[in-house]
Amino acid sequence: MSRHKLEYKDFVDAIDLDAFEEAINFEPLEHRAGEDVGYCPDLWSLHKHGDTTGKFAINREKRVYHCFVCGGGTLLSLAMEFCHSDEETATEWLHQFAHGDTRTDTEFVDDFMKLLDDYAEKKGDRMPYFNEHVLKQFDPAYHALDLDGNPISWYEERGISEEIQQAYRLCYGANHKKVAPIRGGEKIAEDYFGPCIVFPHFWEGRLVGWQHRWLNHGKGTPKWLPKYTNTSDFPKTQTIYNYDRAIKHPANRVVVVESGPTVGFLESMKIPAVCAFGSGITEGQLRLLRRFQDGVILAPDNDEPGTKFVTVGRAYLERYIDVTVLKPVELGEGADLGDYMKTDDPVGNLYDHLETAIEDAVFGIF
């Protein structure tokens, strides 16, 4: 029988915080308003001269940490940084601090009902966030160079303007590290070092993580490395990329795509767009899309996951708002709107594709 996968969310409230704090060498100086306050362990090396005033705190009820310099997040993201490990390994390491349940049946039911009432608020409280200084480990996109000193052409090739590169804080890592997965307690391979494009993700004005788009994928990368990877505790299922900007855009509709690069391309063309970080759009993301009361345009990739993307999206959203579904871009398997940059007339072909779909929707074809 296969072992049930260990999930952080299943035991986070049972973690013995005193034991955890001792393990990461954090000694609280005081307890203030439900928080253990003390010197930051500075796992990100952002304190120039170390923390001398006690800028770090762990909230005992919400099970989150924050630092006035480094940012904050969940205990899981803190454990990943402390152990220099991936999510699976950090979860197993954290589990050792989870204690057994000693409540009576009545106490258990009372606590369970309270958890249900508090779940939505508590989930939001556990949203990770980072100090924007952490992005300094990367080069700004608009003047990035590779290891040989050559300018990066990736953004230009994908039609992402310099204006969008700067506005969206896009970055480049010439030789970024990705920790190899661990199976059975051991790494399956050596850690990978290579070039990647970085898409910082801001939510309600805070940096909550970033996504790496690894270059040369499938050619110079190991098989275990996916094309896109995320920072620890990345809030993929409950947020949408570029949502904060798009919801304020005066345009009538927003285009919903699968990837950050396609958002950058469309926004460079003055077309408001958001993405769901892949084809696996979630109910939490769909609830956010309902707020676009003028409607959405679903733009799938030309593949099977893209078909599922629009099927799930349309089935949910059309009960609340107007939904238009674009036909797939017929430029090959997996093609999306951004692939029009490979054609002789990217702008004309893009607008023709959008206008045709909207006209067809009006006449009831979709």
Element (H, E) at 317: helix 304-317
For residue 165, being part of any structural domain is answered with yes
315 C-beta neighbours (distance < 10 Å), count: 11
**Taking the chain, what is the end-to-end CA distance rounded to the nearest angstrom?**
46
pLDDT over threshold 50, residue 361: no
What is the per-residue pLDDT for 103? 45
Say if residues 7 and 91 touch (Cβ distance below 8 Å): yes
| Count of domains forming the chain | 3
For residue 237, being part of any structural domain is answered with no
User: Do 96 and 44 share a structural domain?
Assistant: yes
Q: Which tops the pLDDT comparison, 118 or 249?
A: 249
User: Do 184 and 90 share a structural domain?
Assistant: no
Q: What is the pLDDT of residues 140-166, one digit of tens each?
A: 998 888 888 899 999 999 999 999 999
User: Do 358 and 248 share a structural domain?
Assistant: yes
- What CATH number should be reported for the domain holding residue 155? 3.90.980
State what percent of residues in the chain have pLDDT above 70.
Answer: 88
What is the per-residue pLDDT for 356? 75
User: Do 332 and 272 share a structural domain?
Assistant: yes
Sign (positive/negative) of CA torsion 76, 82, 85, 91? negative
Q: How confident is the model at residue 172 (pLDDT cuts 50, 70, 90)?
A: very high
The average pLDDT across 227-245 equals: 90
The 8-class DSSP code of residue 258 comes to S
Q: Find the range with the poorest average confidence among 116-130, 222-236, 260-274.
A: 116-130
What is the per-residue pLDDT for 114? 52
Say if residues 21 and 27 touch (Cβ distance below 8 Å): yes
Distances (CA, A) of 35 to 3, 22, 327: 35, 15, 52
What is the per-residue pLDDT for 4? 57
User: Do 105 and 162 share a structural domain?
Assistant: no
* C-alpha torsion 77→79→84→85, nearest 10: -80
* C-alpha torsion 256→257→261→264, nearest 10: -20
Is residue 254 helix, strand or coil? Answer: strand
For residue 236, being part of any structural domain is answered with no
Which residue among 126, 154, 189 closes a domain?
126
Q: What is the pLDDT of residues 97-115, one digit of tens each?
A: 887 643 455 555 555 455 4
Residue found by looking up tokens 């007339």 in the block: 345
Which residue among 230, 255, 283 closes a domain?
230
User: Do 49 and 106 share a structural domain?
Assistant: yes
Provide the β-strand partners of residue 176: 194
Which residue among 106, 126, 146 closes a domain?
126
pLDDT over threshold 90, residue 83: no
What is the per-residue pLDDT for 113? 52
Contacts of residue 344, defined as CB under 8 A and 6 or more positions apart, other chains included, come to none
Q: Find the range with the poorest average confidence among 9-13, 259-263, 270-274.
A: 9-13
For residue 33, being part of any structural domain is answered with yes
User: Do 115 and 55 share a structural domain?
Assistant: yes
The average pLDDT across 175-183 equals: 85
What is the per-residue pLDDT for 121? 43
Give me the domain span that covers residue 186.
132-230
Residue 258 CB burial class (10 angstroms; 0-12, 13-18, ≥19): buried
What are the E-state strand segments in 68-178? 71-74, 129-130, 139-140, 171-178
For residue 73, being part of any structural domain is answered with yes
pLDDT over threshold 70, residue 89: yes
User: Do 334 and 272 share a structural domain?
Assistant: yes
Furthest-apart CA pair in the chain: how many Å? 71
The average pLDDT across 260-284 equals: 94
- What CATH number should be reported for the domain holding residue 249? 3.40.1360.10
CA atoms within 13 A on the CB side of 328: 17
Provide the β-strand partners of residue 324: 297
Q: How confident is the model at residue 126 (pLDDT cuts 50, 70, 90)?
A: low
For residue 235, being part of any structural domain is answered with no
Contacts of residue 38, defined as CB under 8 A and 6 or more positions apart, other chains included, come to 26, 27, 28, 29, 30, 54, 56, 57
Q: For residue 213, which phi and psi values (nearest 5 degrees)?
A: -110, 105
Say if residues 110 and 136 touch (Cβ distance below 8 Å): no
User: Do 177 and 261 share a structural domain?
Assistant: no
What is the per-residue pLDDT for 101? 47
User: Do 255 and 224 share a structural domain?
Assistant: no
- What CATH number should be reported for the domain holding residue 38? 3.90.580.10
For residue 3, being part of any structural domain is answered with no
User: Do 188 and 152 share a structural domain?
Assistant: yes
For residue 1, being part of any structural domain is answered with no
User: Do 140 and 119 share a structural domain?
Assistant: no
